[in-house]
C-alpha cells in the first residue's frame, strides 16, 4: 500500500501509520529489531532500531505532529544522536522526512523528501538507513580496528599526555577507544582524574582485581 500523508492526523498516527506500518517493514526492521518508547539514560526515544543487538541503537526515529515544523525539533534529535552516539536519525511529521548522520559528532542532514514522495524515494532511504545496508556498513567498521603504540624509554617526555589527547580526539569523532597504559608511576587513569590517588598506598584499584 502506498503511503499518503493525509493518513496522518496526529503524532500517534505518524508513529503507527508511517513508521510502524510502512517505514520499518520497508527498511527491513522486523519486530525483533526495533523498540518503541525506549528509555536510554535520561532520554526516551520514539523508535530505536538496530541491526544486530539492541544494546546499540543504529537509527533513532522521531515522530512529530503533522502541523509541527521539523526544524523546531532538530535540536532534540541532535541531542539524542550526540549523547547516545547514534549513527543515524530520522525526523518526520508525515508531511516530510529528514535523515541525519552523526559524522565526528557533527549532525549532518543527508536526505530530505516530502511525504507524498516517500514511495518514490524508498530505495534511496533504504540505501541510507536500511537494516541490510547498515549491517554491512557496521561490519566493515567492526573489522577495521586500529592499534596505536606510543613508546619512549625516557620519562617525562609527554607519552601519557599525547595518548590522552589522541584518545579524546578519536572519541569526539565517534570512535570507540580503549587506552592501555603500562606505567606504574603516572598512569592514564590517574592523569585523567578517574581515580584520585597519589601513591601506591592509596591505590585501591589493584585490590579489586
**How buried is residue 206: exposed, middle or buried, by Cβ count under 10 Å (0-12/13-18/19+)?**
exposed
pLDDT higher than threshold 80 for residue 157: yes
* 89-93, 129-133, 170-174, 178-182: least confidently modelled range: 170-174
> % helix / strand / coil in the chain, to the nearest 5?
40, 20, 40
Residue with the larger pLDDT of the pair 184 and 167:
167
Cα–Cα distances in Å, from 82 out to 78, 102, 128, 136, 170?
6, 7, 19, 22, 14
pLDDT tens across 90-124, in order? Answer: 999 999 999 999 998 899 999 999 999 999 999 99
Is there a contact between 38 and 48 (Cβ–Cβ < 8 Å)?
Answer: yes
Mean pLDDT of 4-11: 95
Helix H segments across 61-209? 74-83, 118-129, 131-142, 159-172, 188-191
Q: What is the pTM assigned to this prediction?
A: 0.68
pLDDT in tens, 178-188: 888 776 655 66
CATH of 5-142 among 3.50.50.60, 3.90.1570.30, 3.30.360.10, 2.60.40.10:
3.90.1570.30
Q: Show Cβ contacts of residue 20 under 8 Å, excluding neighbours closer than 6 positions.
A: 36
Could you give the residue range(s) of every CATH 3.90.1570.30 domain in the chain?
5-142
Average pLDDT over residues 200-206: 59
Q: What is the CA radius of gyration of the chain?
A: 22
Amino acid at each position: 500500500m502506498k503511503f499518503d500523508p493525509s493518513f496522518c492526523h496526529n503524532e500517534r498516527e505518524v508513529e503507527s501509520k508511517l513508521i510502524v506500518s510502512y517505514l520499518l517493514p520497508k527498511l527491513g526492521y522486523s519486530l525483533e529489531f526495533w523498540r518503541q518508547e525506549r528509555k536510554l539514560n535520561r532520554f526516551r526515544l520514539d523508535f530505536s532500531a538496530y541491526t544486530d543487538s539492541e544494546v546499540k541503537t543504529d537509527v533513532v526515529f522521531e515522530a512529530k505532529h503533522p502541523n509541527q515544523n521539523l526544524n523546531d525539533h532538530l535540536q532534540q534529535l541532535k541531542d539524542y544522536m550526540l549523547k547516545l552516539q547514534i549513527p543515524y536519525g530520522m525526523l518526520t511529521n508525515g508531511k516530510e522526512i529528514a535523515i541525519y548522520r552523526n559524522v565526528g559528532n557533527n549532525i549532518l542532514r543527508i536526505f530530505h523528501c516530502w511525504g507524498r514522495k516517500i514511495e518514490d524515494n524508498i530505495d534511496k532511504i533504504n540505501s541510507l538507513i536500511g537494516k541490510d545496508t547498515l549491517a554491512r556498513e557496521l561490519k566493515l567498521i567492526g573489522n577495521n580496528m586500529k592499534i596505536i603504540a606510543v613508546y619512549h624509554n625516557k620519562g617525562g617526555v609527554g607519552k601519557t599526555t599525547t595518548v590522552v589527547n589522541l584518545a579524546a580526539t578519536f572519541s569526539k569523532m565517534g570512535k570507540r577507544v580503549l587506552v592501555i597504559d603500562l606505567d606504574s608511576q603516572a598512569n592514564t587513569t590517574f592523569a585523567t582524574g578517574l581515580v584520585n590517588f597519589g601513591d601506591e598506598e592509596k591505590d585501591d584499584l589493584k585490590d579489586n582485581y
